[in-house]
Amino acid sequence: MIARQSFFNTVTIGLAFLIGALNTIYFYPRYLGSELQGLVVALLAISNLIQPIISFGVQHSLIKFFSSCKNKIEKDSLFLFSMVFPIIIFLTIILPLSLFFIDEIIELISAKNKIMGKYLFMILAISFSTAYFEVFYSWSRVNMKTIFGNFLKEFYPRALVFSLLIIYAFNFIDFDLFVLLLIGGYYFRLLLMLVYSLNIYRPSLTFALPNNFKKVFRYSLIIFLSGSAASLILDIDKSMISNYLTIENVAYYSVAIFIAAVIEIPGRAMFQIVNPIVAKLINENHNKRLISLLKKTSNNLLLVSGLFFLIIILNLNDFYVWSNLHEYKSAIEVVYIVSLAKLFSISLGCLNNIITNSKYYVYVFWFSILSAFLAVFLNYYLIPLNGIIGAALATLIVVVLINIGKLILIQIKYKANPYNFKTILSVLLIGIVYFLIITLKPETFIDNTSDPNPIYNISFRSFLIAGIYVLLAYFFGLTKDFQEAISRFRQKG
């Protein structure tokens, strides 16, 4: 089940990144321009900061507590609590505060770029729809159905933007209508997710609170606070870049982050299905199976993401030449720095899922608070000093320090860690292939000296990287799990 859904989720996320790449690298800069691109990215980033406040962590409570529900009544009360609570938060806190302090909020978000203040409604509208989407998506995940929800989460928004950019390119709509249609598209996605999740399991209407309401509420509160801090970490760099630098730098930085994020594709795909399984194993006290899952996810994700890492890092120069976005190349070092951070994070396997779903979940809050503090402090110091490179360095420092803290926590509480001898072999494999390609310089094998073609270089180099990597991985004995998964697929076929 994990292998099958992870495979389909990986394909979906891969296609999503492909469309996202076209949007970010070609359509956004060509038709919106770097200023409007930076505006849309910044507005969506701020929406992501608001979304955890509205959802209040209830989507995570669904995953943690669903497997401990003993009957339909308990499941229904948990689900309906998760549906009702976010709208209470929105109507009693978010909306009144936004209306009361509207002038101050507009002044804050448009301090450096006046145009941003015009689209405050977009921030609220998208954050509300995204909050409820996450609730219904979690409901499908706890029922072990992740493929369609993952499609809506990863592929749909990028396809939506792609479609709107095409329409905008032909001058059928102006930018204001672009924004309105973007909001409408997010609400249509919410409707699709709602119908799908209720089709999987339709709860009976009940006004009873969950029996373990205090536990659910406390967990939601902690995860809400943690999620708010985590969202701050994800998007504070873009927000602070827009304040300290020109909005064009947000676009340059966003493209670099997007490229580095490709490394996370295998992890994002796997964790959609692994998270509810981790919660179930913890609720049933299957610690040995839990630790085994931790090591397997770490080994397999490091191996696969290591290949992604090499293909990205070793093709960067040709990629920027091919994209013909010369000003964006100023962020090339951002890709190198953030890619290392992504690879380290992915090597933890399902460690974050274990902490979040265990009785030690309160540590998530403290890690998030520390991360947010470090992110704000480091960005405040490094962005004025080093520009967008400073923002990338801040990200790397925060990721390394916090991940080390998480490793120490799991070692103390579970007497375990995600790493083993295969980890050393995988790191060695990545290093060997990197230095082989740097030394061989495969682009010199292609006779294109008169008119160098970056596409040929990227294709040939990527093929060579993948070939050497897979052969050495097989030689090192790192592909056993993948061979077994392929055998199971063939047997089912």
The pLDDT score that the predictor gives to residue 7 is 73
The pLDDT score that the predictor gives to residue 322 is 79
The pLDDT score that the predictor gives to residue 346 is 94
| Residue 95 domain-assigned (yes or no) | yes
> What rounded mean pLDDT belongs to the chain?
83
| Residue 445 domain-assigned (yes or no) | no
User: At residue 2, does pLDDT exceed 80?
Assistant: no
The pLDDT score that the predictor gives to residue 318 is 84
User: At residue 274, does pLDDT exceed 80?
Assistant: yes
| Residue 271 domain-assigned (yes or no) | yes
The pLDDT score that the predictor gives to residue 239 is 74
| Residue 459 domain-assigned (yes or no) | no
| Residue 493 domain-assigned (yes or no) | no
* Contacts for 241 with CB less than 8 Å, ≥ 6 apart: 249, 250, 253, 383, 388, 391
Across 458-482, average pLDDT: 85
The pLDDT score that the predictor gives to residue 234 is 66
User: At residue 228, does pLDDT exceed 90?
Assistant: no
Q: Which of 8-12, 315-319, 417-421, 460-464 has the lowest mean pLDDT?
A: 8-12
Across 103-113, average pLDDT: 64
pLDDT band at 405 (very low <50, low <70, confident <90, very high): very high
| Residue 444 domain-assigned (yes or no) | no
Q: 351: burial class by Cβ within 10 Å (0-12, 13-18, 19+)?
A: buried
| Residue 457 domain-assigned (yes or no) | no
* Contacts for 391 with CB less than 8 Å, ≥ 6 apart: 237, 240, 241, 253, 334, 379, 382, 383
The pLDDT score that the predictor gives to residue 421 is 92
Across 219-235, average pLDDT: 74
Across 226-237, average pLDDT: 69
* CA separation for the pair 288, 293 (Å, rounded): 9
Task: Find tokens 């930076």 and name the residue.
Answer: 38
Predicted TM-score (pTM) of the model is 0.78
Structural domain that includes position 215: 2-419
pLDDT band at 54 (very low <50, low <70, confident <90, very high): confident
How many CA atoms lie within 13 Å of 315's alpha carbon, on the beta-carbon side? 25
| Residue 433 domain-assigned (yes or no) | no
| Highest averaged pLDDT of the listed ranges 31-45, 278-292, 313-327 | 278-292
- The total of structural domains in the chain comes to 1
